[in-house]
Amino acid sequence: MGNNGKLGYLIFLWALLVAVVAMATEHRPFERTKGINGLEKIIVKDRRGRSFEVYLYGGQVTSWKNEKGEDLLFMSSKLPSNISYVAWVDLILRSSQDDLKIWPHKFEYRLRIHLGPEGDLTLTSRVKNTDVKLFNFTSGFHPYFSVSDIRLYLSTPNDIRIVDPKKKKTLVVHKEGQVDAVVWNPWEKKVSDLGVKDYKRFVAVEPVAVAKPITVNPGQEWKGTFQMTVVPST
Protein backbone atom coordinates (compact mmCIF):
# COMPACT_ATOMS: atom_id res chain seq x y z
CA MET A 1 0.00 0.00 0.00
CA GLY A 2 1.43 3.39 -0.98
CA ASN A 3 1.62 6.48 1.20
CA ASN A 4 -1.54 7.91 -0.42
CA GLY A 5 -3.69 5.15 1.01
CA LYS A 6 -2.06 4.50 4.35
CA LEU A 7 -3.72 7.29 6.32
CA GLY A 8 -7.11 6.13 5.09
CA TYR A 9 -6.18 2.62 6.23
CA LEU A 10 -5.17 3.90 9.68
CA ILE A 11 -8.38 5.91 10.06
CA PHE A 12 -10.79 3.11 9.13
CA LEU A 13 -9.00 0.17 10.75
CA TRP A 14 -7.64 1.83 13.86
CA ALA A 15 -7.70 -0.52 16.82
CA LEU A 16 -8.10 2.03 19.59
CA LEU A 17 -8.99 5.72 19.70
CA VAL A 18 -6.78 7.43 22.26
CA ALA A 19 -9.23 10.04 23.56
CA VAL A 20 -12.97 10.68 23.63
CA VAL A 21 -14.58 14.02 24.38
CA ALA A 22 -18.39 14.07 24.67
CA MET A 23 -20.54 17.21 24.65
CA ALA A 24 -24.33 17.40 24.73
CA THR A 25 -27.28 19.32 26.09
CA GLU A 26 -28.06 19.47 29.80
CA HIS A 27 -30.51 16.54 29.69
CA ARG A 28 -27.45 14.22 29.59
CA PRO A 29 -28.08 12.18 26.41
CA PHE A 30 -24.64 10.61 26.58
CA GLU A 31 -24.29 6.94 27.55
CA ARG A 32 -21.17 4.78 27.51
CA THR A 33 -21.91 1.06 27.47
CA LYS A 34 -20.93 -2.35 26.09
CA GLY A 35 -21.93 -3.56 22.65
CA ILE A 36 -21.19 -6.52 20.40
CA ASN A 37 -18.47 -8.83 21.75
CA GLY A 38 -18.12 -6.60 24.82
CA LEU A 39 -16.74 -3.66 22.82
CA GLU A 40 -17.33 -0.21 24.29
CA LYS A 41 -19.72 2.13 22.51
CA ILE A 42 -21.29 5.54 23.04
CA ILE A 43 -25.01 6.23 22.56
CA VAL A 44 -26.09 9.85 22.07
CA LYS A 45 -29.79 10.90 22.11
CA ASP A 46 -31.64 14.17 21.74
CA ARG A 47 -34.86 15.23 23.51
CA ARG A 48 -37.07 13.86 20.73
CA GLY A 49 -35.67 10.35 21.00
CA ARG A 50 -33.45 10.49 17.91
CA SER A 51 -30.07 8.87 18.43
CA PHE A 52 -26.84 7.48 17.08
CA GLU A 53 -24.28 5.03 18.46
CA VAL A 54 -20.57 4.80 17.77
CA TYR A 55 -18.03 2.17 18.80
CA LEU A 56 -14.75 3.37 20.31
CA TYR A 57 -12.97 0.56 18.48
CA GLY A 58 -12.47 2.06 15.03
CA GLY A 59 -14.91 4.96 15.50
CA GLN A 60 -17.63 3.04 13.62
CA VAL A 61 -21.16 4.49 13.61
CA THR A 62 -23.48 1.48 13.82
CA SER A 63 -26.89 3.08 14.39
CA TRP A 64 -28.76 6.26 13.44
CA LYS A 65 -32.41 6.27 14.53
CA ASN A 66 -35.25 8.72 13.97
CA GLU A 67 -37.87 9.70 16.57
CA LYS A 68 -39.88 6.56 15.70
CA GLY A 69 -36.96 4.33 16.59
CA GLU A 70 -36.43 3.31 12.95
CA ASP A 71 -32.78 2.63 12.14
CA LEU A 72 -31.66 4.43 8.99
CA LEU A 73 -28.36 2.58 8.72
CA PHE A 74 -27.99 -1.04 7.67
CA MET A 75 -26.45 -3.79 9.80
CA SER A 76 -26.01 -7.38 8.66
CA SER A 77 -28.74 -9.81 9.72
CA LYS A 78 -25.94 -12.03 11.05
CA LEU A 79 -25.17 -9.50 13.80
CA PRO A 80 -27.17 -9.49 17.06
CA SER A 81 -29.91 -6.84 17.20
CA ASN A 82 -29.49 -4.72 19.85
CA ILE A 83 -33.72 25.60 22.34
CA SER A 84 -32.05 23.75 19.61
CA TYR A 85 -31.69 20.19 20.76
CA VAL A 86 -28.41 18.91 19.44
CA ALA A 87 -25.90 16.33 20.62
CA TRP A 88 -22.50 15.26 19.41
CA VAL A 89 -19.41 13.26 20.24
CA ASP A 90 -15.79 13.99 19.30
CA LEU A 91 -13.27 11.21 18.66
CA ILE A 92 -9.59 12.15 18.57
CA LEU A 93 -6.72 10.08 17.21
CA ARG A 94 -3.06 11.08 17.40
CA SER A 95 -0.22 9.20 15.74
CA SER A 96 2.09 7.19 18.02
CA GLN A 97 5.64 5.94 17.59
CA ASP A 98 4.29 2.57 16.46
CA ASP A 99 2.14 4.31 13.88
CA LEU A 100 5.16 6.07 12.41
CA LYS A 101 6.63 2.68 11.56
CA ILE A 102 3.62 2.05 9.32
CA TRP A 103 3.05 5.54 7.95
CA PRO A 104 5.97 7.98 8.55
CA HIS A 105 3.97 11.17 9.07
CA LYS A 106 2.73 12.77 12.30
CA PHE A 107 -0.94 13.73 12.27
CA GLU A 108 -4.01 14.37 14.37
CA TYR A 109 -7.39 13.05 13.21
CA ARG A 110 -10.67 14.32 14.65
CA LEU A 111 -14.10 12.91 13.89
CA ARG A 112 -17.20 14.76 15.09
CA ILE A 113 -20.51 12.87 14.89
CA HIS A 114 -23.33 15.36 15.24
CA LEU A 115 -27.09 14.81 15.61
CA GLY A 116 -28.79 17.95 14.36
CA PRO A 117 -32.07 19.63 15.43
CA GLU A 118 -34.01 18.03 12.55
CA GLY A 119 -32.58 14.56 13.12
CA ASP A 120 -29.89 14.87 10.47
CA LEU A 121 -26.59 13.09 11.11
CA THR A 122 -23.32 14.80 10.18
CA LEU A 123 -19.81 13.34 10.26
CA THR A 124 -16.99 15.88 10.07
CA SER A 125 -13.40 14.70 9.61
CA ARG A 126 -10.41 16.90 10.30
CA VAL A 127 -6.86 15.84 9.50
CA LYS A 128 -4.10 18.10 10.85
CA ASN A 129 -0.49 17.79 9.76
CA THR A 130 1.58 17.91 12.97
CA ASP A 131 4.78 17.00 11.12
CA VAL A 132 7.49 19.21 9.64
CA LYS A 133 6.87 18.06 6.06
CA LEU A 134 3.75 17.86 3.91
CA PHE A 135 1.93 14.59 3.25
CA ASN A 136 -0.71 13.27 0.87
CA PHE A 137 -3.56 10.94 1.69
CA THR A 138 -6.85 9.65 0.35
CA SER A 139 -10.05 9.53 2.37
CA GLY A 140 -13.55 8.11 2.38
CA PHE A 141 -16.64 7.37 4.46
CA HIS A 142 -18.24 3.93 4.16
CA PRO A 143 -21.96 4.12 5.07
CA TYR A 144 -24.53 1.39 4.45
CA PHE A 145 -28.03 2.87 4.09
CA SER A 146 -31.05 0.76 4.93
CA VAL A 147 -33.56 0.62 2.03
CA SER A 148 -36.62 -1.51 1.26
CA ASP A 149 -35.09 -2.67 -2.02
CA ILE A 150 -31.99 -1.81 -4.05
CA ARG A 151 -31.86 0.74 -6.88
CA LEU A 152 -29.28 1.91 -9.39
CA TYR A 153 -27.96 5.48 -8.94
CA LEU A 154 -26.06 7.48 -11.53
CA SER A 155 -23.89 10.65 -11.25
CA THR A 156 -22.04 11.94 -8.20
CA PRO A 157 -22.90 15.58 -7.35
CA ASN A 158 -22.34 17.03 -3.88
CA ASP A 159 -25.96 16.18 -3.02
CA ILE A 160 -27.02 12.59 -3.70
CA ARG A 161 -30.61 11.48 -3.10
CA ILE A 162 -31.59 7.91 -2.24
CA VAL A 163 -35.31 7.58 -2.93
CA ASP A 164 -37.15 4.70 -1.26
CA PRO A 165 -40.77 4.62 -2.56
CA LYS A 166 -41.85 1.71 -0.36
CA LYS A 167 -40.77 3.43 2.87
CA LYS A 168 -41.90 6.82 1.49
CA LYS A 169 -38.67 8.52 2.45
CA THR A 170 -35.63 10.03 0.77
CA LEU A 171 -32.13 10.03 2.22
CA VAL A 172 -30.14 13.09 1.15
CA VAL A 173 -26.36 12.64 1.29
CA HIS A 174 -24.39 15.90 1.24
CA LYS A 175 -20.60 15.88 0.98
CA GLU A 176 -17.91 18.56 1.13
CA GLY A 177 -14.16 18.18 0.73
CA GLN A 178 -14.50 14.83 -1.04
CA VAL A 179 -15.08 15.30 -4.75
CA ASP A 180 -15.59 11.64 -5.67
CA ALA A 181 -18.28 9.13 -4.76
CA VAL A 182 -18.73 5.37 -4.80
CA VAL A 183 -22.11 3.65 -5.06
CA TRP A 184 -21.76 0.00 -4.08
CA ASN A 185 -23.71 -3.17 -3.37
CA PRO A 186 -22.35 -6.75 -3.44
CA TRP A 187 -25.47 -7.99 -5.30
CA GLU A 188 -25.64 -11.79 -5.15
CA LYS A 189 -21.93 -12.23 -4.51
CA LYS A 190 -21.45 -14.21 -1.31
CA VAL A 191 -20.11 -12.10 1.58
CA SER A 192 -19.21 -13.94 4.78
CA ASP A 193 -20.69 -11.42 7.23
CA LEU A 194 -23.96 -10.83 5.33
CA GLY A 195 -27.13 -12.90 5.27
CA VAL A 196 -28.18 -14.47 1.95
CA LYS A 197 -30.78 -11.77 1.16
CA ASP A 198 -29.12 -8.83 2.97
CA TYR A 199 -27.87 -7.36 -0.29
CA LYS A 200 -31.45 -6.39 -1.16
CA ARG A 201 -31.80 -4.19 1.92
CA PHE A 202 -28.90 -1.73 1.65
CA VAL A 203 -26.86 0.46 -0.64
CA ALA A 204 -23.51 2.04 0.14
CA VAL A 205 -23.12 5.63 -1.02
CA GLU A 206 -19.59 6.64 -0.11
CA PRO A 207 -18.13 10.18 -0.27
CA VAL A 208 -14.45 9.72 -1.07
CA ALA A 209 -11.36 11.55 -2.30
CA VAL A 210 -9.33 9.01 -4.28
CA ALA A 211 -8.73 10.22 -7.85
CA LYS A 212 -6.61 13.14 -6.60
CA PRO A 213 -4.91 12.67 -3.18
CA ILE A 214 -5.36 15.41 -0.58
CA THR A 215 -2.23 17.42 0.28
CA VAL A 216 -1.82 18.91 3.77
CA ASN A 217 1.11 21.22 4.54
CA PRO A 218 2.80 21.28 7.99
CA GLY A 219 0.53 22.90 10.58
CA GLN A 220 -2.42 22.97 8.18
CA GLU A 221 -5.70 21.04 8.40
CA TRP A 222 -8.04 19.36 5.91
CA LYS A 223 -11.78 19.17 6.59
CA GLY A 224 -14.31 16.81 5.06
CA THR A 225 -18.03 16.83 5.85
CA PHE A 226 -20.61 14.10 5.32
CA GLN A 227 -24.21 14.97 6.20
CA MET A 228 -27.21 12.61 6.04
CA THR A 229 -30.77 13.94 6.15
CA VAL A 230 -34.13 12.17 5.85
CA VAL A 231 -37.01 13.89 4.04
CA PRO A 232 -40.47 12.47 3.27
CA SER A 233 -41.30 11.42 -0.28
CA THR A 234 -44.31 10.02 -2.06
Annotated active-site positions, please? 142, 206
Distance CA 135, CA 179 (A): 19
Nearest partner of 65 among 82, 79, 77, 80, judged by Cα: 82
DSSP assignment, residue 73? B
Distance CA 217, CA 16 (A): 26
**C-alpha torsion angle, residues 59, 62, 65, 69 (rounded to 10):** -140
Distance CA 170, CA 72 (A): 11
CA atoms within 13 A on the CB side of 51: 17
Nearest partner of 198 among 65, 53, 79, 82, judged by Cα: 79
